[in-house]
Amino acid sequence: MDDPTKPDLRIGYLEHRSMRADAARLTELVGAAQPTDAGRLRALADWYGRYEAAIHDHHHAEEAVIYPALLERDPSFGEADGQLEGQHQVLADRLQVARESLTGLIGATGGGRWEPEREEAVKAAAALKAIVDAHTGDEEAVAFPRYSAHFTAAEYAGLNKQALKLVGLRSFVFAGPWVLDHATSDERAELLGEQPLLLRVIYRLALQPRYQRLVRPLGPASQPARP
Ligand SMILES: [Fe+2]
Ligand SMILES: [Fe+2]
């Protein structure tokens, strides 16, 4: 962390990076899918369910806890707030379309509708990637600097605690290893080093292996983690 008095935005940036990298990975995987890939596509759909839920949790926390707190401190955030929440809605719709098209693709394996279903699924994944890229970029430009300007480190940590309470532990079970998977090795070592011993043990023995089982059928990440 650069300045310990300022909000720690590392996890926020990492969540966005993970969303973007996996939207890109989804687009590539669907584009490369073959009609004989039924098992692999079912595994992809299982993973996708966790990815989709993690994004919903992230947005729910922003809309219920983080944005309202910021708006109270900085009313000039109002217009951006409206735009960002509008993007959340578009993103939620595209997440649903991508899920439905993935289900359609699984149903088309080995059948005559494979090519049109794959085209649909690629289009849906690309549309999802476009809004994920746009929204995370906009939020990092208009909201993140305001977090730094208007909250202390302790206040922002308190908001994140409230948010975690709101979305529940379920989100942490996937999102913890998910964001660490998209971190560089230095970032991962730094973040893990700050956790209590018990949590590090739970991560290594349970959360990380469980996450790896979930993503193994997806193959290696499409690109190495980068800040
Ligand atoms: Fe957001
Ligand atoms: Fe966000």
Per-residue pLDDT of 183-216, as tens digits, reads: 999 999 999 999 999 999 999 999 999 999 999 8
Residue 2 binned pLDDT confidence (cut-offs 50, 70, 90): low
For residue 196, the CA-to-ligand 1 centroid distance in Å is 28
Instruction: Please check the confidence at residue 1 and state whether its pLDDT lies above 60.
Output: no
Specify the fold of 10-168.
Four Helix Bundle (Hemerythrin (Met), subunit A) (1.20.120)
pLDDT, mean over the chain: 93
> In the predicted model, what is the mean pLDDT of residues 80-95?
98
Q: What tokens appear for 8 in the block?
A: 């720690």
Phi, psi of 129, deg, nearest 5:
-60, -40
For residue 201, the CA-to-ligand 1 centroid distance in Å is 31
For residue 126, the CA-to-ligand 1 centroid distance in Å is 19
For residue 17, the CA-to-ligand 2 centroid distance in Å is 10
Instruction: Please check the confidence at residue 78 and state whether its pLDDT lies above 70.
Output: yes
Nearest bound ligand to CA 84? 1
Q: What is the pLDDT of residue 49?
A: 96
Instruction: Please check the confidence at residue 153 and state whether its pLDDT lies above 60.
Output: yes
Residue 161 binned pLDDT confidence (cut-offs 50, 70, 90): very high
For residue 84, the CA-to-ligand 2 centroid distance in Å is 9
> In the predicted model, what is the mean pLDDT of residues 76-88?
98
> In the predicted model, what is the mean pLDDT of residues 90-101?
98
Q: Around Cβ 180, how many Cβ atoms within 10 Å?
A: 20
Of the chain, the percentage scoring pLDDT greater than 70 comes to 96
> In the predicted model, what is the mean pLDDT of residues 141-146?
98
123-150: b (≥16 Cβ within 10 Å) or e: ebbbbbbebbeebbeebeeebeebbeeb
Instruction: Please check the confidence at residue 224 and state whether its pLDDT lies above 60.
Output: no
Residue 223 binned pLDDT confidence (cut-offs 50, 70, 90): very low
Q: Which amino acid is at 24?
A: A
Instruction: Please check the confidence at residue 138 and state whether its pLDDT lies above 60.
Output: yes
Instruction: Please check the confidence at residue 170 and state whether its pLDDT lies above 80.
Output: no
Sorted by sequence, the CB contacts under 8 Å of residue 150 that are 6+ apart come out as 70, 73, 74
Nearest bound ligand to CA 60? 1
Torsion of CA 48, 51, 55, 56, to 10 degrees: 60
Widest distance between CA atoms in the chain: 60
Least confident interval from 5-19, 139-153, 213-227: 213-227
For residue 88, the CA-to-ligand 1 centroid distance in Å is 6
**Residues near ligand 2 ion, CB 5 Å cutoff:** 139
> In the predicted model, what is the mean pLDDT of residues 147-164?
96
Domain locations along the chain: 10-168
- Report the alpha-carbon distance of residue 144 to residue 168 in Å, rounded: 23
Q: What is the pLDDT of residue 111?
A: 83
**Residue 70's closest CA among 169, 180, 145?**
145
